[in-house]
Amino acid sequence: MSDDAVQVEFLHSLSEISAQEWNALCDTDYPFLRHDFLLGLEQTGCTTADTGWQPCHALLRRNDRLVALLPTYLKSHSWGEYVFDWSWADAYQRIGLRYYPRLVSAIPFTPATGPRLCTASGENRERAAAALVAGIQAFSQRNELSGWHVLFPNDSDAGVFESLDLTKRRACQFHWFNEGYTDFDSFLSRFNSRKRKALRRERRRVAEQGITLRRLRGDDITPADWERFHHFYQITYAKRSGHGGYLSREFFTDTAAHLGQQVMMAVAEREGRDIAAALFFCSGDTLFGRYWGCEQEFDCLHFEACYYQGIEFCIEEGLKRFDPGAQGEHKIQRGFQPVETVSYHWLADERFAAAIRDFTEEEATHNRRYQQQAAELLPFRLSD
């Protein structure tokens, strides 16, 4: 890969590249990298300069041929990233420097581990990554950006970023793994008696309130279902955060609705009326729990719709893993195991880069201890 044949460019809209060219490099089995998913976020007003998510996708071309890319955004805040760096921003501000704007290679509003560095077949991934990162760093310095961050890369990409001079940060999520279960009861058979009874009691409590659930997938989700889901989503976000959520009505009705079999919705019904729903996305081996909403709170309904329906779906479809989203220690007692997630960071100011390297090394020690302690709280029998 000779330097004079290589060019790094930045796209300020995914409309500047064809779906065919983008998807040829991206693993579109991972739904959040699909051209139509990311472009849909733009076109429905979710990722724009006004929302603080200005597309700035980094592309590497050799002899005018696209050979690598990183989905990237120019960020004016840290909302919707789920790798929390507010204290870093505060430290910058206290000495009169700007932390924002900065570049972030991530999937907006989606803390789901997956591919980030996309390369053409036969390309040397380490060399492509080095060229892209060098271009990103030069772009950041020209535009006086504080730095660049890549969030939730999968193991393959993390191995590539590991070879570059980037600061690694570790965190913890809770995922469910399919150990060849034949049904939900076979999963529960691994639990100790007390925890198994508690989980069955939760599921029974949902039924006792007159609530039933149905799972819909792809084209079985009607336009009316999407409208209702957005209504539930807005209500729940407003209660929790005081705003209507990151995603617009049109994202659900015009973008998510056209992702086919990669979308599943668990809908809760009571007295002939839909009252809540959880939305999931699928790859070939993983279910991603993403959004939830309800009109009225019901005992244990969140656990049923967001977790138990997802587990049953994974067992029925033979999916290997269920990633239900960020945070949530309450997932441990329901059989979700602690897993490490990573992010990588480059800061233009070497003083801050050195301080943050020290911070992340100390944080990593605490994170490892936390994961060990969380694993000890899993509900499985000691023999497992």
For the chain, the farthest-separated pair of C-alpha atoms sits apart, in whole angstroms, at 69
Rounded Cα–Cα distance for residues 81 and 109 (Å): 6
Q: Enter the pTM of the model.
A: 0.95
Q: Decide if 246 is inside a domain.
A: yes
Helix H or strand E segment including 105: strand 102-105
- Residue percentage of the chain with pLDDT more than 90: 95
Strand duo 321-323 + 286-294: pairing: parallel
Q: Return d(Cα 124, Cα 82) in angstroms, integer.
A: 30
Question: For 45-66, what is the mean pLDDT?
Answer: 97
**How many percent of the chain have pLDDT more than 70?**
98
Residues 6+ apart with CB under 8 A from 30: 114, 115, 283
Residues 190, 157 share a domain: no
**DSSP conformation class of 44:** T
User: Quick check: 1 pLDDT over 50?
Assistant: no
Going from the C-alpha of 363 to that of each of 45, 92, 155, 168, the distances in angstroms are 36, 19, 20, 11
CA distances from 353 to 29, 115, 136, 146 (A): 35, 25, 16, 10
Domain assignment of residue 279, yes or no? yes
Across 81-96, average pLDDT: 96
Residue 366 and residue 292 in one domain: no
Looking at the structure, tell me whether residues 68 and 85 fall in a common domain: yes
Same domain flag for 163 and 183: no
User: pLDDT tens digits, residue range 106-165?
Assistant: 999 999 999 999 999 999 999 999 999 999 999 999 999 999 999 999 999 999 999 998
Which domain range does residue 209 map to?
179-319
Q: What was the pLDDT predicted at 4?
A: 56
Mean pLDDT of 68-97: 96
Contact 120, 24 (CB under 8 A): yes
Give residue 379's pLDDT band: very low, low, confident or very high (50, 70, 90): very high
What is the distance between the alpha carbons of residues 344 and 346, in angstroms, rounded to a whole number? 7
3-state secondary structure 309-351: HHHHHHHHHCCCEEECCCCCHHHHHHCCEEEEEEEEEEECCHH
Q: Answer yes or no: do 153 and 205 share one domain.
A: no
The number of distinct structural domains making up the chain is: 2
Lowest mean pLDDT among 93-107, 239-253, 282-296, 362-376: 239-253
